[in-house]
Structure 1
């Protein structure tokens, strides 16, 4: 029997290995390839632990044109800090935030005892993200996040969040009809699905994590910050230890600074 030489054998083994693997889903910049991408991504999702309900949600996802338009046209984060705070209504957030803290001091004190995060930080995030739950989005979360996972612009960033969203469907936390922001963020403080899966807290004790319930949402937000390294009792202004943790919540520098400034005014 004639055996192939070692280099030829190694090459044959390598080719066989790659042929046996499912092809990676290819990103795209238009809606044209979305359906074929979903079929490929379903295999990747299944390997990552997504089950029947999640895979069904993926199959039903629609290419979200409004999400793509929003992702290509993010202007507010290019503003100066003063302009950003004006546009986002910082004074209103602070005024309403102080009232919210005064109405329910025990709730915020409990969160601070448990996670070390002051009320002002949680209230500022809540106000900035959804005007205290006044508007939590009008885009279908699963369609939005899978569209961003498919889109070539930031595919690698959004793929884990798309997997997370499908797992949340499996758990019953999301459905294909659940609405959130145009980038797939959900609930009172606009968690990306992967973070929701990892840091979600059932603070009400009803057996499920509901990001559209303010108690669960704010406890989950506090848990996220604590798990990202929040140091209880330390400062959170720019240059202080906990400012780096606020940076983990949102990558835009004007957002980070606005949260820290508003939080100090609410807590002051």
Structure 2
């Protein structure tokens, strides 16, 4: 189980405010000069030699910057978004997955209070149930977004999280994820992975590319963010606010709630 002490979590999250000690940039020109500056901040935040080496080897992620500037799918109407993201397919496959593994999802709900439909909808939406978990270096992507001036403060703690995950052996500098540095079956941002990760299969490590660990970690994230067992999760109901903690886009939140209800049936 990858729980961190309160002081360690606070240090990681507080790092966002220190990010400006290393000068951001809007092109690749200053990236290599910026990395040693950021390394000093990372070391003060507790990153060790493996994480610092991964930082030194990180490349400027041009495709990540392009993706960050063009997130147009979240501007679609809800029906269009659900069509584009394959909601009907996610629901149909999700029902089958729940029927194949009822004990697994029931155990997660007993422990964390999160219904199967919510976890399955997130899993399907994020990676088509693990079918595609990304083709970008997690470390390079998240470090690039921290260097980029647009949202440095948001991504800085996640960059520190990624480097600490390298230190722990949960990922390497070569681990692939989404273009914004999200990783594993349900696409955790690295800082959240560090904080909420669970070794659910008991093999001694948290592996977000293992479905059991990833879904337990997702359920743990939602529970720790305030999920109320037995309460509703549609718009206007108590747990819809917790779905907002997973993704800030309203259309995404609405889609998850709708698909989850259809899966839970």
Q: Same fold (TM over 0.5)?
A: yes
Instruction: Please name the residue that 2:12 is paired with.
Output: none
Contact 2:19 2:156 in 1 (8 A): no
Instruction: Please name the residue that 1:110 is paired with.
Output: 107
Aligned counterpart for 2:92 among listed residues 95, 112, 119: 95
The question of 1:168 aligning with 2:165 is answered yes
The question of 1:211 aligning with 2:208 is answered yes
Contact 2:19 2:153 in 1 (8 A): no
TM-score normalized with structure 1 length:
0.92
Structure with bigger gyration radius: 1
Q: Residues of 2 paired with 1:153 and 1:264: CA distance?
A: 36
TM-score normalized with structure 2 length:
0.93
- Describe the superposition over 1:82-115 as per-residue Cα deviations: whole angstroms up to 9, x where unpaired: 0000000000000000000000000000000000
The question of 1:145 aligning with 2:142 is answered yes
Instruction: Please name the residue that 1:48 is paired with.
Output: 45
Contact 2:123 2:130 in 1 (8 A): yes
Q: Per-residue deviation at 1:23? A: 7.9
What are structure 2's unaligned runs of at least 5 residues? 1-17
What are structure 1's unaligned runs of at least 5 residues? 1-20
The question of 1:190 aligning with 2:180 is answered no
Q: Per-residue deviation at 1:22? A: 11
Instruction: Please name the residue that 2:239 is paired with.
Output: 242
Matches for 1:69-88 after TM superposition, within 5 Å: 69-88=66-85
- Describe the superposition over 1:135-163 as per-residue Cα deviations: whole angstroms up to 9, x where unpaired: 00000000000000000011100000000
Query: Structure 1 23/109 Cα, relative in aligned 2: closer, same or farther at 3 Å?
Result: closer
Runs (4+) of structure 1 exceeding 3 A deviation are none
Q: Per-residue deviation at 1:36? A: 1.1
The question of 1:129 aligning with 2:129 is answered no
Aligned to 1:125, what secondary structure does the other structure show?
helix
Count residues with an aligned counterpart. 248
Aligned to 2:21, what secondary structure does the other structure show?
coil
Instruction: Please name the residue that 1:178 is paired with.
Output: 175
Aligned to 2:232, what secondary structure does the other structure show?
coil
Aligned counterpart for 1:31 among listed residues 28, 33, 41: 28
Q: Per-residue deviation at 1:72? A: 0.5
Higher relative contact order (CA 8 A, sep 6+): 2
